[in-house]
């Protein structure tokens, strides 16, 4: 799936001004089969794709 066809989102904890206070962060997008993860500073570069199960495990461990 094309990176531009995905609907990307950031954490609500991320700043929105793009400055040093958190505006640059990881973004994620979901489709029927995978979770896509990218760096918001370089959105046109390749992104990481993981299974929904791997994403859930990551989030559980991050909490």
Can you give the residue ranges of every domain in the chain? 3-62
4-41 burial, b for 16+ CB within 10 Å, e for fewer? eebebebeeeeeeeeeeeeebeebbbeeeebbbbbeee
Q: CA of 45: how far to CAs of 3, 50, 52, 57, 63, in Å?
A: 9, 16, 22, 25, 28
pLDDT tens column, 9-25: 987 777 655 555 556 78
pTM: 0.73
What's the distance, CA 30 to chain centroid? 9
pLDDT of residue 38: 93
pLDDT of residue 51: 97
């Amino acid at each position: 799936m094309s990176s531009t066809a995905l609907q990307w989102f950031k954490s609500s904890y991320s700043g929105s001004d793009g400055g040093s206070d958190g505006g640059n962060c990881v973004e994620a997008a979901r489709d029927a089969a995978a979770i896509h993860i990218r760096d918001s500073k370089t959105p046109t570069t390749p992104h990481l794709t993981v299974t929904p199960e791997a994403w859930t495990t990551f989030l559980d461990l991050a909490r």
